[in-house]
Amino acid sequence: MKISEVNIQFIKPADGLIGFSSGVIDDAFYLGSIGVHQRLDGTGYRPTYPTKKSPLNNRPIFSSDQSGHPTKPLSRPFS
């Protein structure tokens, strides 16, 4: 697995949330809006992915179209 184009934007810390990150996996899948939280015991950090609340359950929010291609542009073409 190749992870590239990692970007982290730091924010004013709130309830352990210190920023948001994004990246590309295997030059094909864009993941964005990944929260970066400080661990409760202060030993490091953990990623969190947002969910959308619905009456039945929580669903992940992904940035891709119906064919699985990223909806946000990559800095270089992918195959």
Sequence-separated (6 or more) residues with CB below 8 Å from residue 5:
22, 23, 24, 74, 75
| Domain residue limits, the chain | 3-60
User: Per CATH, is 3-60 categorized as 3.30.1120.40?
Assistant: yes
* Residue 59's pLDDT band (cuts 50, 70, 90): low
Has residue 75 got a pLDDT over 50?
Answer: no
pLDDT computed for residue 2 by the predictor: 92
pLDDT digits (tens, 9 = 90+) for 3-55: 999 999 999 999 888 999 999 988 888 888 888 999 888 899 988 877 555 56
Calpha distance 21→23 (Å, rounded): 7
